[in-house]
Chains A and B, each alone.
Chain A
């Protein structure tokens, strides 16, 4: 079941530069998308979300873009900081159901000082 895919297992960027993490989905019923950050030995931490009625949502250094026609979303982190180094998970849900989240495989981001 690959309804949500993150095709890049890892990404390395320099401190201060932009990090772009990508996510694709196949189920057109999804209408809510979320990004979580996860450090080792911790639970996923909610970062930012977007409803399918929007194409962009911004919160500080984090911006999520949604392209419904391409079934693609991306997370931009600007500027990247060493503390952003973690695993980032994309997740999707549909508002008519129980709120079950379907996660991608995750992308490990390393921000080098």
Chain B
């Protein structure tokens, strides 16, 4: 069964450093997402991406964040200058958005720890 994969599973970085989180969505999916979950809190939407551009972003997704689909398979989230409050689980998701269902399929997540 196709699945979304994410690397690395755990990333430790120092405050102010850049990190890139990588995702390989399901191959025939067209819509890609990043979410995050701070420990003990709900899963929060960060950004959606379709047709090689951002289609929607949340207030969390400020200028420090960027996304890219550098080739036909990878989807990346970059944080330019990490802050302590960026520590969270980051989940990539993808969807084919076939009507009438809109299920998104999530990867296992990358745990980002900013020290």
Residues of A that sit less than 8 Å from B by CB: 32, 34, 36, 41-46, 49, 51, 89, 91, 93, 95, 97-106
Contacts and interface: CB of A to CB of B under 8 A. Distances in A.
Contacts of B33: 99-101
B101 A104 contact: no
Contacts, number: 66
Contacts of A46: 103-106
Nearest to A51: B100
Contacts of B103: 34, 46, 49
Contacts of B6: 43
Interface of B: 4, 6, 31, 33, 35, 41-45, 48, 50, 55-56, 58, 91, 93, 95, 97, 99-109
Contacts of B45: 100-102
A34 B61 CA distance: 24
A21 to B, nearest CB: 15
Contact of A97 (B43, B56, B109): B56
B100 A45 contact: no
A36 B101 CA distance: 14
A43 B106 contact: yes
B2 to A, nearest CB: 13
Given A45-B106, A101-B35, A101-B104, 18 more contacts: A34-B103, A41-B109, A42-B108, A43-B6, A43-B91, A43-B93, A43-B107, A44-B91, A44-B106, A49-B102, A49-B103, A89-B42, A98-B48, A98-B50, A99-B31, A100-B56, A101-B45, A102-B45
A57 to B, nearest CB: 10
A103 B36 CA distance: 11
B108 A99 contact: no
